[in-house]
Amino acid sequence: MNEAEMLRQRIDALEIVRQELRSRFLSTSDPDEADDLRRRINILSEDIDVLRMRLDRLRATSVIPPITAEEAARVREGLNQLDRFAREDHNTQAAIGLLQQIAAMLS
């Protein structure tokens, strides 16, 4: 298991614990217990945020593979369609529709 997978599993586990604490918080009628649960939930949320930042940093520094020839061809085709459309039509709604189709093609 690599570091990113380990962080993701820890985040998932902590989110389950936080969800259970929130459930208990919503069901308690004891103000002291509610205060304690709220404090624990806040601490847990901060821990989760720290782990997410670590995961984001790890992903940001990962090597991004170059795009394949097929992906490059799809991008070129999408940009060519956009260029042809922009030269021929200035209708905003139609442009938005085309951009959505291009985005769907690229994903």
The whole-number pLDDT of residue 101 equals 78
A 10 A CB-CB count for 27 gives 9
Write the burial class of residue 22 (CB in 10 Å: 0-12 exposed, 13-18 middle, 19+ buried). middle
The whole-number pLDDT of residue 95 equals 63
The whole-number pLDDT of residue 84 equals 75
The whole-number pLDDT of residue 99 equals 67
Residues 84 and 31: their CA atoms lie apart, in Å, by: 65
The per-residue pLDDT string of the chain (107 residues; one tens digit each, 9 = 90 and over) reads: 688 899 999 999 999 999 999 999 999 899 999 999 999 999 999 999 999 999 999 888 877 778 888 988 888 888 888 777 666 655 666 666 766 777 777 65
Between the alpha carbon of residue 80 and those of residues 69, 71, 77, 96, the distances in Å are: 16, 14, 5, 16
Q: For residues 62, 43, 14 and 49, what is the CA-based torsion angle, rounded to 10 degrees?
A: -20
